[in-house]
Structure 1
Amino acid sequence: MWDSVPWFIGGGAHHSPEVARLLAYAATSGAEGVVTPGDLKVVPLDVPGSSVRALSGACFMLNKAAGGAQQTYVGRNPSEDVVAISATGSGSGRSDLVVARVEDPNMPGEPWNDPADPTTGPYIFTRVIPNVSPTTTTMPAGQSGIPLARIDIPANTATITSSMIKDLRKLARPRSWNDYDVQAGINAAGGGAEYIRVTDSDWRTWPLNTMSVTIPTWATHAQISIHLSGIGATGPGDVNTRIQLGNLFGAISYLDHNGNPGTPVGFVEKINHFAYAEFDVRAYQGTTQTLKVNSRRTFPQNTGDIWFGEGEQIAFDVRFRELVV
């Protein structure tokens, strides 16, 4: 039998909470978690003590009660919430789970009591579930809520520090976006390919190709790969490369070309090279930055010529992500 009042009927019709929660479920595709990257992060007190703080934010939580299928609660914490953590004794440590939990006594089979004022609640809380397994990362079965953090407390400890807090938050609807460009190599000034010489032992832009990248306002991280195809080489040569985005620099990648000693003088080999980096881009949100490759020669005893020009190709691949922070 249908729920007799669908969303939304006018004229003073009474809409059920089940249909309202169904709307939230459909709008979020049944996702659970925090809404934006910094929401509901669990941190120590400003002066570490026997409590922790759940910062402000919002979340989506599936209704796990009997009859709660395809229903989502939406919770909002407009200011930080402080909860106490019990001290451990001298015998052993303990792990506690900090959660955001809906306690809805109107759902059948739920153990929660009615609040003093049913019109204002509260029906949602930051709760501490003590003495869980030190590998726990999920809510207890059947409870409507999301895990925020696990506190792994050593023995004989009453002060909670950041090193004891394991962040368990997940974004309910993380965003991502890809930017991609393929370019032919650029000739150096005066014509001809751009060589990287044995004397180029300091970092410089090589190849000359760059890409202009606009960082989305929501992006927290970027994963970048750059593929150089058809690099020319006449003999052994070693090049370090690193990806640069704005003023951010990735880790070194190594181009270690040993040459082909069985070929005649003047033989040109074509080699490929791949570089990868991951950056925290929160400081660049909403800005446009230049993406390029820095390179330098190493092991000057390997003197083969290495170049990149219009006969070669470079592929830039950028993936922006939204992660909890």
Structure 2
Amino acid sequence: MRPWQGAYTQSNIGDAIVGVPSTGPFARTDLLVLRVEDPEYEGERDPRTQDIGYFHLVKGVDQDATVLRGMTAIPLARITLPRNTTAVTADMITDLRRLANPRTERTLHTVHPSTTEKVPAEHGQWANWPKEAAWDLDIPDWATRATVVVTISGLRAEAGNIYAELRTRLGEHNAEPTVVDDDGTTTRRASVSLADTFTLPPAYRGTRQRLGVQINQIDKYGDGDLAVAKGTTVTADVQFTESPV
């Protein structure tokens, strides 16, 4: 937007069709924008009969373009078209929408185990552990993503080598695992961080969901003992964010 222009409010209810020309022997990248063309400053659109805010396709932009210079417009999507393409599919579209003032909510949870708790004996399968590392989270009704970082400090290892995977679990959704791979032989302490971003399904919003930590210790690569004990701290840093869906 030109710096001397004011503010505009646009809304769209329902679907809008934007034509995307096919490609020939060369690939092309286009940018779909919401363009504002106020005739007081540029263009010749008549506000009495035409929308001064409208969807507009800018053809032939850079492959990684996310902004548009020299035009009063808000980028909505980047469309990457292979050569000889006549139809646009979902995998060609990169969503560039963002909220001007997204809501966030961040909370910090801590646990200090007071007794020693070893990994459950059923090694080779996922188990909830440590048992105290579990929290019921009230998910805001506007949240679309949850970023979770769990740090276990002072993790106790003893009696041999250890290989284990740890992950967080929110509701029925599992995060990617983090590996603990320790070839020590004496009693030692370590720290591990688990981090991932969960996309929250609509059914989770405005509900209470369980956040927990799970472990899968694999004896094939080590037969030591892993435990939380006095001196261990488990910290869960949870941030809910609002974004386009």
Instruction: Output the TM-score relative to the length of structure 2.
Output: 0.88
2:2 matches 1:64: yes
Return the offset for 1:95. 2.4
Higher relative contact order (CA 8 A, sep 6+): 2
Note the 1:130-279 alignment, pairs <5 A: 130-141=59-70, 143-185=71-113, 187=115, 193-196=116-119, 199-209=122-132, 210-236=134-160, 237-260=162-185, 268-279=187-198
Classify 1:88/1:203 alpha carbon distance in 2 versus 1 (closer, same or farther; 3 Å): closer
Number of equivalent positions: 242
2:19 matches 1:84: yes
2:43 matches 1:105: no
Give structure 2 stretches of 5+ with no counterpart.
none
The secondary structure found in structure 2 opposite 1:163 is helix
CA contact 2:124–2:219 (8 Å) conserved in 1: no
CA distances 1:254-300 after superposition (whole Å, capped 9, x unpaired): 11222245xxxxxx322222222221113311111111111122134
CA contact 1:198–1:297 (8 Å) conserved in 2: no
Counterpart CA distance in 2 for 1:313 and 1:150 is 45
Counterpart CA distance in 2 for 1:159 and 1:103 is 28
The secondary structure found in structure 1 opposite 2:131 is strand
CA contact 2:31–2:75 (8 Å) conserved in 1: yes
Instruction: Output the TM-score relative to the length of structure 1.
Output: 0.68
The secondary structure found in structure 1 opposite 2:40 is coil
Aligned-partner residue type, residue 319 of structure 1: Q
| Percent of aligned positions that are identical | 30
Aligned-partner residue type, residue 150 of structure 1: R
Counterpart CA distance in 2 for 1:105 and 1:166 is 31
CA contact 1:242–1:250 (8 Å) conserved in 2: yes
Q: Which has the larger radius of gyration?
A: 1
The structure 1 segments of at least 4 consecutive aligned residues displaced by more than 6 Å after TM superposition are: none
Pairwise CA RMSD: 2.1
Counterpart CA distance in 2 for 1:203 and 1:136 is 43
Classify 1:320/1:243 alpha carbon distance in 2 versus 1 (closer, same or farther; 3 Å): same
